[in-house]
Structure 1
Amino acid sequence: MALRAAEWHKLPTSLTELCINTTLRCGQSFRWRKSAEDEWSMALHGRLLSLRQDAEYIHYRATYPPAASALPTPPPSNAPSVAPEEDDTLALVKHYFNLTPNLGQLYEQWAASDANFKKRAPKFTGIRILRQDAWEALIGFICSSNNNISRISGMVQNLCLHYGPLIGDIDSVPYHDFPSPAALSGPNVEAHLMKLGFGYRAKYIAKTARMVSEEKGMKWLEDLSNPECPQFGVQEKPAGDMLEGGRERYRRAHAELLALHGVGPKVADCVCLFGLGWFEAVPVDTHVWQIAQRDYKFGKGKHSSLTAATYTAIGNLFRKLWGKEAGWAHSVLFTADLKAFSERVVAKVEIKEEEVTIKKEDDEPVLEGTIKKQTTKRKRVKKEPEESEHQTVEIKQETNRRSKRQRGRAVA
């Protein structure tokens, strides 16, 4: 379904308040695609949303699929896109990127209470917590179990491709919106997802979709959200209800999510943070635990392993440091620690020929000649997060193998 290019609009936004190149790559959302022209696109709420950014503006445009009732079948490839009478794309962009809080002030607040944040955060400004649909966050983070960002993105794209509504194409690449719970509740979904490579997550997705579609309902999921951060298009609750028992409401939301298939404490906190607006939720995995150990000297005694008690203690540590936006501040440090956003040192081995003299023992004849000497230089390059540990090991192993070969040739 080819779409006609829509008009670009711009929204004044500094890179310190929002950096989309960082925010969209740090493991919050898994459906954005980036083109060679630094344009990000995703199907969202019935439209194809595209974004670009410069130092002063977010540039955005929304392209809608043709109105089926007004077009012949099949529709012509140059059919105009039909937007609703009142286009709400600006409101959607502001909501999705959570643009109301002043991020500069929040960074200053977190830095004032934490020297480690003050040290690491200045290179990673503009990271905002997205306000995604709770259902998409739920399924996306079920896919995240024992997984990396690249594979999670592939799984989520497959879900959309096979079960989500087609919105349109960009350069012959189809963009599908996220599938509904009903679409993922069919009797053959689990088997199909297994064939697509979802592994044990196929069962979790199918069962959770049935629970939400047939038993609990989408309203149940939406009602777990922070009343200060409702889902897009959902009416905010009266101000008097907003702050009442906030911490308890977050804990209740977390506990209710644990009843779903494939949802453990970390996935539940990811859904709370990225889909339900509970910014105090702190998802703790081995990566975050390592940050707590390395930078906060956390992990001795009873917290020397990542148990349920340790999980809770790390969350409480960060909530004590950063308050009700602890999950947001934690995400900045999490991103700063991802290898995709930091330079890594790669050993570059160079072989040079040098004249050397090797004297053997017991006054044997002196061996004179030319051998090749290894020189190691270090070069800083970018590394993708899903390849980080694997590549580091490979580089070290290859360097060691070359060193051994060169030493063997020199002694021969």
Structure 2
Amino acid sequence: MTKHALLSSEAKLWRSLACAKSELRLDLTLACGQSFRWRETAEGHWTGVMGGRVWTLTQTDDALWYYVYKKQDGLEGSERKRKASISPVEENKSKKRLKAVKDEGEPADATVQDCDVEEKLLRGYFQLDVKLGDLYSDWGAADPHFKRIADIFTGVRMLRQEPTECLFSFICTSNNHISRIQGMVERLCEALGSPLCQLDQASYYDFPSLSSLADGSVETRLRDLGFGYRARFLQQSAKQIIDVYGIQWLESLRSVPYPQARNALRTLPGVGTKVADCVCLMSLDKAEAVPIDTHVWQIAKRDYQYSAGSGQKSITDKLHRDLGDFFRALWGPYAGWAQSVLFCADLKKFQKFKQSPVKQLKNEEENEDKQPEMFIKSEKMS
């Protein structure tokens, strides 16, 4: 059985590119609620799906290391068992997807062309052409509070995700928390995506295509998988994109101004202003988009004495716009990137980084004593 790769045991099979930790921290960037496809499969090793490939990533002080797995044959049997309850039409579609995977070959073969493609994918995904250190310096000069946070939370980058995956993942975030969203996205890919490989009994699937998501049977199937009312939004949004806008519509939004892209996304079922801003920021190249939810609103009130709308109980469109403008005026054209640093720093899972080494060690020892009774609650995401 193929196992998850470890840099320490098979370094000659890995490739790397120069990247300091001050420019990218995998543990922060991949676990702060931008993407829901990555898991820490060994200490400091993150495995996930990107660009139709399964990757394991890790890093040293000055390099980003990556291992790309070959697409595996012989998955048909498990697919038949997994999809035994699917209609004949859907099963036929699944077989065609599986055949397409096999016909594509194995992109992990270490040819020069493959290496170039994979390095380009990785650089684009992490937007490594953006000099994060320079942005941190600019934000810190304009904002003393940011500077204090940035000294601890370095290397939080904004991912550039594939628009379809980003949009439909964030439709799942409505009234949800990070760990549950991860499970939903995983089930969505397992139910409708193409199989890629199996590692240590964990199966990895590509994200479903728009046509798969738009199929008339999808809502019922996803409700059975625990998606609730979000099942209808997923199917109807995919159908609306295909029927009204066309298959290339989401990609085309990368080339239009931010307000136009945000308003276009809001025409889709289940897409409000916050989700639209997340998609604009994380997949459509709108670095100025600042997603606003109650979590970010609390940061603004607590750390920036932002008082507008303080008498309100919910975030209106006006408050969303005004608060976004406040942060854009403070941080500039990459305001969405800066906001992600503060959002990350405020998540409960990362509070240990703010503690002194002595206090952190004490808390870890206390947590070990309480481990059988612990229940970890993730932050709400609207």
Q: What TM-score do you get using the length of structure 1 for normalisation? A: 0.74
Structure 2 partner of 1:150: 179
CA drift of 1:300 comes to 4.5
| Deviation by residue 1:28-54 (Cα, 9 ceiling, x = unmatched) | 000112112432112222321111112
2:353 and 2:107 map into 1 onto residues whose CA distance is 47
- Structure 2 CA distance for aligned equivalents of residues 95 and 385 of structure 1: 37
* Residue in 2 that maps onto 1:11: 17
Counterpart residue identity of residue 201, structure 1: R
For the 8 Å contact 1:3–1:81, the answer to whether it is kept is no
Q: Work out whether residues 4 and 63 of structure 1, in 8 Å CA contact, stay in contact via their aligned partners in 2.
A: no
1:185 correspondence with 2:175:
no
| Count of aligned pairs | 328
State the alpha-carbon separation in 2 of the partners of residues 174 and 23 from structure 1.
23
Q: Which residue matches 2:346?
A: 337
State the match for 2:225 in structure 1.
196
Q: Specify which of 56, 65, 68 is matched with residue 62 of structure 1.
A: 68
Asked if structure 2 preserves the Cα contact closer than 8 Å seen for 1:143 and 1:201, the reply is yes
2:71·2:106 contact (CA, 8 Å) conserved in 1?
yes
Structure-1 residue corresponding to 2:334? 325
Alignment of 1:4-403 (within 5 A): 7-66=13-72, 81=106, 83=108, 86-87=113-114, 88-225=117-254, 227=255, 249-300=257-308, 304-305=312-313, 306-343=315-352, 380-381=363-364, 387=377
The change in CA–CA distance for 1:303 and 1:327 in structure 2 (over 3 A counts) is farther
Kindly report the root-mean-square deviation, in angstroms, between the aligned alpha carbons of the 2 structures: 2.9
Deviation for aligned residue 1:15: 0.7
Counterpart code for 1:39: H
Deviations 1:167-219 (A, max 9, x none): 10111211101000111111211011111111110000010111123331231
Tell me if the contact between 1:67 and 1:82 (Cα under 8 Å) persists in the aligned partners. no
Structure with greater helix share of residues: 2
SS of aligned partner of 1:59: strand
- The equivalent residue for 2:78 is none
Q: Which has the higher contact order (CA 8 A, sep 6+)?
A: 2
Q: Compared with structure 1, are the counterparts of its residues 185 and 250 closer, same or farther at alpha carbon in structure 2 (3 Å cutoff)?
A: same
For the Cα contact (< 8 Å) 1:3–1:63, is it kept in 2? Answer: no
Deviations 1:342-366 (A, max 9, x none): 1399xxxxxxxxxxxxxxxxxxxxx
- Pair 1:98–1:217, CA change in 2 (3 A): same
Letter in 1 for 2:325: N
1:289-345 per-position Cα deviation (integer Å, ceiling 9, x unaligned): 000111111134676442221111110000000111000000000101111111399
Q: 8 Å contact 2:123–2:129 — kept in the other structure?
A: yes
1:349 matched to which residue of 2? none
Look at both structures and tell me which one has the larger radius of gyration over its CA atoms.
Answer: 1
- Partner amino acid, structure 2, of 1:22: L
Give me the TM-score of the superposition, normalised by structure 2.
Answer: 0.79
SS in 1 for 2:47: strand
Residue identity in the other structure for 2:59: Q
CA gap 1:37/1:298 in 2 versus in 1, 3 angstroms: closer
Structure 1: gaps (5+ residues): 69-73, 228-245, 346-377, 391-412
Contact 1:148 1:386 in 2 (8 A): no
Q: Structure 1 residue runs of 4+, over 6 Å off?
A: 3-6, 382-386
Contact in 1 for aligned 2:347/2:379 (Cα 8 Å): no
Identity of aligned residues (%): 44
1:149–1:385 contact (8 Å) kept in structure 2:
no
Where 2:66 maps in the other structure, the secondary structure is strand
- Alpha-carbon offset, residue 66 of structure 1: 4.8
